[in-house]
Amino acid sequence: MLIALNASYEYYTAIIRRKLDNYRPTLWTSGDLSTGTAEPKFDSLFHDLIPLRVILEYAGEGVIPSINAFRAELTEKEKQFTDFYGMRNYQVFTVTIADPGVITRKAHGLIVGDKVTFATTGALPTGLAVDTWYYVVQTSQDTFQVSATDGGTAITTSGSQSGTHYYASDRQGGMRPAPQNNK
């Protein structure tokens, strides 16, 4: 079962790797499964894909007699997963451990009020979480700060961090007027 679950997990992380080429979360151990700590490192909206893919593999071996409806539902869920991660234009960033935490990305192009979400190959500092939307509350050409609420207080980061960090914005590209010119 561990092999089947890890194969399914790797299948979905490979989809994410199309955008984040070094996205390689650690595979699970039998201890992770027995203690209940095996949790996919992607948005919880799609955690059910792991066991569904395992079931599909068993169905393909003739264990489940009729799988057409099941296959169609899994295909639709996989399309949503691909769209969810494929639509995002991830950018690498660094972040300070500070009050407030300062995110650095050369010429990021974000403005106050933009929403961003994070992904990482390791661990973000305390105060930030993956697949959570944050609001940009302070910017300069190469840095920005985020808040949990629009116009809120910038988040303090603490603890330690590891891996490569990525952010994606809710902006879909194109030109955007500055707020003072958008009257």
- DSSP tag of 125: P
Q: What is the pLDDT of residues 45-92, one digit of tens each?
A: 777 788 888 877 776 665 555 667 777 778 888 887 777 666 667 889
114-132, pLDDT tens digit by residue?
A: 999 998 888 999 999 988 8
Residue 180: phi and psi, rounded to 5, are -70, -20
Domains and CATH numbers, the chain: 2-86 (no CATH), 91-181 (2.40.30)
Q: Is 30 helix (H, G, I), strand (E, B) or coil?
A: helix
Cα atoms in the Cβ-side hemisphere of radius 13 Å centred on 119:
25
Task: Record the pTM.
Answer: 0.57
The residues facing 135 across adjacent strands are 115, 147
pLDDT-derived band at 181 (thresholds 50, 70, 90) equals very low
Structure tokens at 168: 């994606």
